[in-house]
Every structure is written in C-alpha cells, then in structure tokens.
C-alpha cells in the first residue's frame, strides 16, 4: 500500500470532518486494505480504513446498512482518490470476547431481515450460473499470459461445474435472499461494550443469504455439511427464514450453499490472480487453493 497516498487520504478526511491530524496506530494490513486506530489530541479516537479497488464502495454499503437498521460502525467521513477509498469510522473499542456461533447466527438474522438495497451488486440465479464460465475466462487469460500452465484439471472441473450449473443454480432466490455480507466470519462480528456490530462490508451484495452461513467456518479445512446444517437450524431457531433449510437445485440446502460458496470463492481468487493482485509469484498458492475448492464444489454440487 502507498503510505504517502494513505497519508493524503487521511489528511483529506480529517479536514472534511474538521479534525486535527491524529496519532496513528496500525491494527491490521492486508495486500489491498488496512485498518488503523487514530488518537486525536482531545483524547477521542476513530478508525481509519483504506482500500484499493475493488473495495472502494464499502462506505456506501455501510451507510446503506446503517439506514436499514443493521448495527455497523458509523462512517464519519469518506473519500475516494487515486482509485483508493479512505474512511473515518466510529471506534467501537476493543472486543470483549471473540464471536461464537450464536453471535454469527444472530448477526446473520439481523442482516438478512434488512430491506435489500438496489445499489448493491446482484448475484441472482443467472449470475450464479455464470460463475464457472467467468472463472474459465480468467483461466484462459492466465494461460494466454503464459501462467497457470498444466492446470487442465482446473479447466475440466470448471467445465463440469458449468454443465451442472443450469440445474444446480435453481432456487437461488429461495429465502433468505437479499443482503449478503460475503466475508461473514467470526472476525467480521465485533462484540464490544456497546453490543454486537458487523464489520467489513467491502464485498456486500444482494443474493442468497445461505452463502453467508456457508462462509462462517471458513474454507481452510474440508467443508462440513452436517455442521453447516446445524448452524442453519440454529439460524432458523433464532428467527431466520424457515425456508433456509429448503432444498434447492435438487440438493440439500447445506450442500448447495457450501458448493456454490466454493464456486464463488474460486471465481474471486482467479479474478484476483489475473486482475486485482496480478502477481505471478503468487500463482502456485492460488492454483493450489482453486484446485482444492473446485474438488469440493464438484463433490458438493454433484457435478
């Protein structure tokens, strides 16, 4: 990340908010975004979050979510310059504990009950069905650039998934359908002295809410349909839509959700590889992850 540009973003934000320049403390930095805690001379604090494309609309998503009654940190000020987003956010303070399954279920219920937003990208049945083809396009682009060689197994798995997608994408709009956080993990649920808040709305979209529940346990380990089914049952018990367990695409809800979540992740990883990060040195890692996720997707979607 460009530290000079980040400093300029912060200066612009402080000027817009009528605040002096603060002391900065780094909290976490990723390849395309970062978070800092700011301390101002009067003792007040705020959070500075910055990000590059394609994460430059998070301020809009947070404002919309807040207007829909979703507990999120308040956006004090935001700006986009040079293809980068800078945000001053309300400081929620330190977490008093880690979020558990009950917290995740409760947060998902609140989010999925919120009125949908026309401003968000849409992942409906047509878009879901198109994901394997989009990933194939990324693969061909990488191969034409002399990268991702000897990946015929990935191409074959994507073709199998694309062939099955016509049937398996059915039921995309079965409830819950609307807000999808898309990075729904325990680290995205902040439990503080002022209660529960949802963080990290950079990739929020309108689509099947089951993808949030499928993402809760992460993708590092093997998918566990039985464990996800229990989470969906808890979600329904907590007030989530009772159709969350309905079959869709000819599959049990948990298999459908885990399978399509893996396909969604694969397309995203491949787009990062060719467009957003575009680092050939990272190709071996991306190839390994994509191959594993596709194996899971083919099995779960019975492609």
pLDDT at 118: 93
Beta-ladder partners of 184:
none
Alpha-carbon distance of 165 to 174, in angstroms, equals 16
**Domain chopping of the chain, boundaries:** 3-89, 101-300
Examine the pLDDT at 3 and tell me if it is beyond 80. Answer: no
* CA quadruple 103, 198, 70, 122: dihedral, nearest 10: -110
CATH class of the domain whose range is 3-89: alpha beta
- How would residue 5 be classed by pLDDT, with cut points 50, 70 and 90? confident
Any idea which of 38-42, 70-74, 81-85, 246-250 has the lowest mean pLDDT?
81-85
Alpha-carbon distance of 232 to 219, in angstroms, equals 17
Q: Which pair of structure tokens corresponds to residue 275? A: 């467009």
**pLDDT tens digit sequence for 160-211:** 999 999 999 999 999 999 999 999 999 999 999 999 999 999 999 999 999 9
Q: Return the closest-CA partner of residue 35 out of 79, 112, 97, 91.
A: 91
Q: Which pair of structure tokens corresponds to residue 68? A: 């829909």
- How would residue 1 be classed by pLDDT, with cut points 50, 70 and 90? low
List, in order, residues 6 or more apart from 103 with CB less than 8 Å away.
Answer: 186, 189, 191, 196
**pLDDT tens digit sequence for 50-67:** 999 999 999 999 999 999
**pLDDT tens digit sequence for 94-134:** 999 999 999 999 999 999 999 999 999 999 999 999 999 99
> How many percent of the chain have pLDDT more than 90?
94
pLDDT at 4: 77
Alpha-carbon distance of 201 to 62, in angstroms, equals 6
- Please say whether the beta carbons of 108 and 209 come within 8 A: yes
* H helix or E strand, kind and range, residue 33: strand 33-39
**pLDDT tens digit sequence for 263-295:** 999 999 999 999 999 999 999 999 999 999 999
Alpha-carbon distance of 269 to 265, in angstroms, equals 6
Cβ-based burial of 130 (10 A; exposed 0-12, middle 13-18, buried ≥19): middle
pLDDT at 170: 98
pLDDT at 2: 67
* CA quadruple 200, 206, 211, 215: dihedral, nearest 10: -10
Cβ-based burial of 126 (10 A; exposed 0-12, middle 13-18, buried ≥19): exposed
pLDDT at 30: 86
CATH class of the domain whose range is 101-300: alpha beta
Residue 146 backbone zone (phi > 0: left; psi -120 to 50: alpha; other: beta): left
- How would residue 82 be classed by pLDDT, with cut points 50, 70 and 90? confident
């Amino acid at each position: 990340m460009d530290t000079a540009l980040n400093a300029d973003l912060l200066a612009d934000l402080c000027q817009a908010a009528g605040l002096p320049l603060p002391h900065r403390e780094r909290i976490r930095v990723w390849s395309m975004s970062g978070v800092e805690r700011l301390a101002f001379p009067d003792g007040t604090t705020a959070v500075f979050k910055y990000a590059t494309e394609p994460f430059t609309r998070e301020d809009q998503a947070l404002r919309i979510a807040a207007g829909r009654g979703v507990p999120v940190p308040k956006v004090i000020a935001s700006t986009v310059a040079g293809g980068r987003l800078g945000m001053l956010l309300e400081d929620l303070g330190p977490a008093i504990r880690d979020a558990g399954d009950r917290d995740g279920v409760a947060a998902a219920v609140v989010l999925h009950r919120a009125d949908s937003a026309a401003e968000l990208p849409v992942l409906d049945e047509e878009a879901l069905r198109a994901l394997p083809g989009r990933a194939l396009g990324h693969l061909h682009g990488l191969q034409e650039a002399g990268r991702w060689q000897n990946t015929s197994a990935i191409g074959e798995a994507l073709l199998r998934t694309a062939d099955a997608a016509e049937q398996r994408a059915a039921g995309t709009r079965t409830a819950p359908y609307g807000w999808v956080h898309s990075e729904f993990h325990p680290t995205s649920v902040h439990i503080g002295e002022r209660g529960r808040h949802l963080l990290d709305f950079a990739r929020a979209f309108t689509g099947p809410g089951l993808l949030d529940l499928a993402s809760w346990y992460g993708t590092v380990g093997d998918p566990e349909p039985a464990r996800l089914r229990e989470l969906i049952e808890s979600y329904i018990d907590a007030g989530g839509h009772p159709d969350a367990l309905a079959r869709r695409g000819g599959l049990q809800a948990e298999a459908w959700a885990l399978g399509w979540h893996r396909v969604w992740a694969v397309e995203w990883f491949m787009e990062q590889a060719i467009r957003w990060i575009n680092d050939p040195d990272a190709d071996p890692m991306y190839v390994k992850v994509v191959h594993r996720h596709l194996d899971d997707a083919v099995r779960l979607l019975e492609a």
